[in-house]
């Protein structure tokens, strides 16, 4: 046997024998049996699993550090304890709150609990610490928890210590086992929990080497027996028993039993047996290994060399493809480190920067561009690094002696730890698109100028036409009424009447054109006042009554008894209603019906609705009807001439009042126009029907 093998076996044997002997020194003490009167029975609530304080054996009986301590103290206090095992500490606390149990054998003494319950002197005390995984270098204490996920256990001191910290994400677990495995699995970055309990749990499952304690302890927790308020005699008996028991050999034995390391699997005899077997296997294997290693070494080397050459070829090909992509891309691309130094720029970036890739490498924006430009670039880079999010902005570069606009996206490139290590940038030349947008904007402005000029022209022309037209209408009325004497033939009066009617129609058309042009040019002014809605509606109906009767059209009105006044331009509101009623009568055949309905709602305002049973319109025709100077081409509407300004003018006047006009129609059924004025135009005092 080689000397080094023998020395290793001997050292292991001696160490394990010493370890086993040391752990065999302590024996499990039995509970004291004290003679005396019949002991009082108390009910203790315990959780099913909260090692090492609480647990249950294979028969479901409670075990653990807290149970052994409770039995010793109960014997000294002359008590008999009955246990109620519950699924969690939360349920135990709820049972305590409900008065269903007398005490909890082992509970942390906190200010909140001390206000509600009584506690004996402490039976144990331990520190609360921060546990992390062994591969978590960035958490070294409580101040480093900022921005991390921190696990705590429900109703535990760790939750109370961490619940007011708004600079971290708190994850609450039902029990310590869930918190431990979540930490090891990486679901949280740290766990705040009593130190000896967490270490004991980790040792039981064999993962104590995966975690470590960092920083100084956050606090010390004292744990005593929690008793219902008012149980003075019970508290006194337990408190005396605790003071007598703490520090005794029996207490020490219980403490070592539950907090000491568990008995190792590798006892002395197991080590000796395993060592002997291992030595024999090693001797057999060594002879075979020397032969096998020589045979396989050459084969492995040949395979390794072939794999390395293949990897080198693949790497060269990948580098060539990336280089070709980088050089021929129509976009500018570059990569910077987290400090803003260029690592790589592509061909287009070389042209824009005036630097080769080799020249730019290691430089910052301030080494290449003017200060104002470099400051903007550096600010964008910092924003990406700090936020971890991509940002988009427009950048200006000179190319071919001309200014070019690039739409650039800068994005974070993160390392394996999730930290931003470099910043990537891709920019697309959008100069032509920006030029097209500018052309569209200029064309839009020119169209608006042309529209304004047309409106001003129409307004001027309307003014020029109204002066002679008023004279024509006036002279026609003079002849018609024979103000200056008899005109002779009755035909003169008839012609004068026709001239007056035609002139009046033309004047109304000119007035509509003038109103529309004022609205489009933005020069119309509303003369707003408190108006009686019902009076305006009735007067509008009266104006159309004769025309409806001449066309054998029924004109109906549905007006409430009272309505609040409306803050609006009275003449414009009446103009809206007259236009809508006139259109409805005009396009309703004999025997049809036109109705007007008015109501209001405190939340939505006044509503005017004009409905008819006329010819109706198709959907495409409704859009045409709302456009100025457009007419619906059908057999019936050709029967009546018109300018096509009624609906567009009404819509524009409604919108001047910040209202809406809604058009609903169906061919052969009729049309409904609904006008809504906003609620802020309601005047509180209602107007009533006379």
CA 47, CA 643: separation in Å to the nearest integer? 89
Residue 565: predicted pLDDT = 94
Instruction: Tell me 636's DSSP state.
Output: T
The answer to whether 83 and 46 are in contact (CB under 8 A) is yes
Model-wide pTM > 0.75: no
Q: What are the two backbone dihedrals, phi and then psi, of residue 623, each rounded to the nearest 5 degrees? A: -60, -40
Give the residue from 549, 544, 565, 533 showing the smallest Cα distance to 686. Answer: 565
pLDDT computed for residue 236 by the predictor:
95
Alpha helices in 403-489 (DSSP H): 431-481
Distance of CA 603 to the CA centre of its chain: 32
Within 483-628, strands assigned E span 528-531, 554-558, 562-569, 593-601, 605-612
The 3-state DSSP composition of the chain as helix, strand, coil percent (nearest 5) reads 50, 25, 25
Alpha-carbon span 582 to 570, nearest angstrom = 18
Is residue 538 within 8 A of residue 596, CB to CB? The reply is: no
Contact present, 165 and 248 (Cβ < 8 Å): no
What is the edge-to-edge ordering of all strands in the sheet holding 682-688?
Answer: 528-531, 562-569, 682-688
Which CATH architecture does the domain made up of 435-519 adopt? Orthogonal Bundle (1.10)
What whole-number distance in Å separates Cα of residue 202 and Cα of residue 175? 13
Look at residue 12 in the predicted model and tell me its pLDDT: 42
Helix (H) or strand (E) holding 82: strand 79-86
In whole angstroms, give the CA distance from residue 191 to residue 212. 10
Residue-wise pLDDT for 435-493, tens only, equals 888 899 888 888 777 767 766 666 666 666 666 767 777 767 777 677 766 766 667 66
Q: What are phi and psi of 128, to 5 degrees?
A: -100, 125
Cα first-last separation, the chain: 127
At residue 11, the pLDDT reads 40
Domain residue spans of the chain: 1-24+267-313, 40-259, 329-429, 435-519, 527-688
CATH of domain 527-688: 3.30.565.10
| Phi, psi at 339, each rounded to 5° | -95, 5
Give pLDDT, residue 538. Answer: 94
- Coil, helix or strand at residue 260: coil
Task: Name the strand (E) or helix (H) holding 349.
Answer: helix 347-353
- Look at residue 13 in the predicted model and tell me its pLDDT: 41
Q: What CA–CA distance (Å, rounded) separates 638 from 340?
A: 75
User: What are residue 409's phi and psi, to 5 degrees?
Assistant: -110, 120
* Under 8 Å between Cβ of 420 and 412: yes
Q: Max Cα separation, the chain?
A: 156
Residue with tokens 């004996």: 120
- Identify the residue whose tokens are 């004279």: 471
State how far Cα 338 lies from the chain centre.
Answer: 28
Mean pLDDT by 10 residues, the chain (690 residues): 43 39 35 57 93 89 95 95 92 94 94 93 92 91 93 88 93 90 94 89 89 93 94 95 94 88 56 81 83 82 83 80 75 89 89 87 91 90 91 85 88 90 89 87 81 66 67 71 69 69 63 67 81 93 90 94 94 91 92 95 93 90 73 51 72 92 93 95 63
In this chain, the answer to whether the domains covering 329-429 and 435-519 adopt an identical fold is no
Q: What is the full DSSP assignment across 600-646? A: EETTTEEEEEEEE-S----HHHHHHHTSTT----STTGGGS---S-H
* Rounded Cα gap, residues 634 and 617, in angstroms: 10
Instruction: Identify the pLDDT of residue 23.
Output: 34
Check if CATH label 3.40.190.10 holds for domain 40-259.
yes
d(CA 139, CA 148): 9
| Distance of alpha carbon 520 from alpha carbon 529, whole angstroms | 23
Interatomic CA distance for residues 265 and 10, integer angstroms: 18
Based on C-alpha coordinates, what's the Rg of the chain?
48
Please give the backbone phi and psi of residue 227, each rounded to the nearest 5 degrees, phi first: -125, 145
Entry field: residues in the chain = 690
CATH number of the 329-429 domain: 3.30.450.20
Cα 324 to Cα 43, 315, 330, 346, 406, distances in angstroms: 80, 14, 12, 10, 22
171 pairs with which residues across the strands? 151
């Amino acid at each position: 046997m080689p000397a080094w093998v023998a020395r290793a076996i001997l050292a292991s044997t001696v160490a394990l024998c010493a370890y086993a002997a040391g752990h065999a020194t302590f024996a499990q003490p039995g509970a004291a049996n004290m003679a005396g009167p019949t002991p009082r029975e108390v009910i203790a609530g315990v959780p099913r699993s909260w090692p090492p304080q609480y647990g249950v054996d294979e028969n479901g009986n409670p075990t653990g550090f807290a149970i052994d301590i409770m039995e010793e103290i109960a014997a000294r206090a002359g008590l008999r304890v009955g246990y109620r095992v519950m699924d969690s500490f939360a349920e135990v606390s709820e049972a305590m709150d409900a008065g269903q149990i007398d005490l909890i054998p082992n509970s942390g003494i906190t200010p909140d609990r001390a206000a509600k319950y009584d506690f004996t002197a402490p039976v144990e005390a331990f520190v609360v610490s921060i546990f992390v995984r062994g591969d978590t270098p960035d958490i070294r204490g409580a101040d480093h928890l900022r921005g991390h996920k921190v696990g705590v256990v429900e109703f535990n001191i760790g939750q109370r210590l961490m619940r007011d910290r708004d600079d971290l994400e708190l994850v609450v677990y039902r029990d310590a086992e869930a918190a431990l495995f979540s930490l090891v699995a990486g679901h949280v970055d740290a766990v705040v929990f009593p130190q000896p309990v967490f270490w004991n749990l980790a040792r039981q499952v064999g993962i104590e080497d995966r975690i470590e304690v960092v920083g100084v302890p956050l606090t010390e927790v004292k744990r005593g027996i929690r008793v219902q308020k008012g149980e003075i005699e019970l508290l006194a008996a337990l408190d005396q028993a605790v003071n007598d028991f703490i520090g005794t050999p029996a207490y020490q034995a219980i403490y070592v039993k539950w907090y000491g390391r568990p008995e190792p699997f590798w006892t002395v005899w197991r080590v000796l047996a395993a060592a002997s077997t291992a030595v024999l296997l090693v001797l057999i294997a060594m002879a075979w290994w020397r032969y096998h290693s020589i045979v396989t070494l050459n084969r492995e080397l040949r395979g390794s060399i072939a794999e390395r050459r293949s990897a080198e070829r693949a790497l060269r090909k990948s580098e060539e493809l990336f280089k070709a992509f980088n050089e021929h891309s129509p976009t500018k691309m570059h990569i910077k480190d987290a400090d803003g130094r260029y690592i790589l720029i592509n061909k287009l970036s070389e042209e824009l920067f005036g630097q080769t890739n080799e020249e730019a490498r290691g430089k910052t924006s301030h080494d290449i561009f003017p200060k104002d430009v470099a400051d903007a670039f550096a600010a964008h880079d910092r924003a990406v690094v700090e936020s971890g999010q991509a940002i988009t902005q427009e950048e200006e570069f000179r190319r071919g002696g001309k200014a070019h606009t690039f739409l650039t996206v800068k994005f974070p490139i993160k390392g394996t730890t999730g930290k931003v290590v470099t910043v990537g940038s891709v920019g697309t030349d959008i100069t032509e698109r920006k030029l097209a947008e500018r052309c569209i904007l200029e064309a839009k402005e020119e169209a608006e100028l042309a529209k304004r000029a047309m409106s001003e022209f129409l307004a001027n022309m309307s003014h020029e036409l109204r002066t002679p037209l008023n004279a024509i209408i006036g002279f026609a009325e003079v002849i018609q009424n024979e103000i200056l004497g008899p005109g002779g033939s009755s035909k003169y009066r008839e012609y004068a009447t026709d001239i007056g009617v035609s002139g009046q129609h033309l004047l109304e058309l000119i007035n509509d054109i003038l109103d529309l042009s004022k609205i489009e040019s933005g020069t119309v002014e509303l003369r707003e006042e408190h108006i009686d809605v019902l009076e305006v509606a009735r007067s509008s109906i009266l104006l159309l009554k004769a025309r409806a009767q001449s066309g054998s059209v029924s004109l109906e009105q549905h007006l409430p008894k009272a309505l609040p006044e409306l803050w609006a331009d009275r003449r414009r509101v009446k103009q809206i209603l007259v236009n809508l009623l006139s259109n409805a009568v005009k396009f309703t055949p004999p025997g049809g019906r036109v109705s007007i309905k008015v109501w209001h709602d405190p939340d939505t305002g006044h509503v005017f609705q004009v409905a008819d049973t006329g010819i109706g319109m198709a959907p495409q025709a409704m859009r045409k009807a709302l456009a100025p100077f457009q007419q619906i081409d059908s057999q019936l509407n050709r029967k009546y001439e018109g300018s096509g300004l009624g609906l567009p003018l009404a819509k524009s006047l409604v919108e001047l009042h910040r209202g809406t006009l809604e058009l609903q129609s169906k061919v052969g059924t009729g049309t409904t126009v609904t006008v809504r004025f906003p609620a802020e135009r309601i005047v509180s005092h209602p107007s009533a029907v006379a």
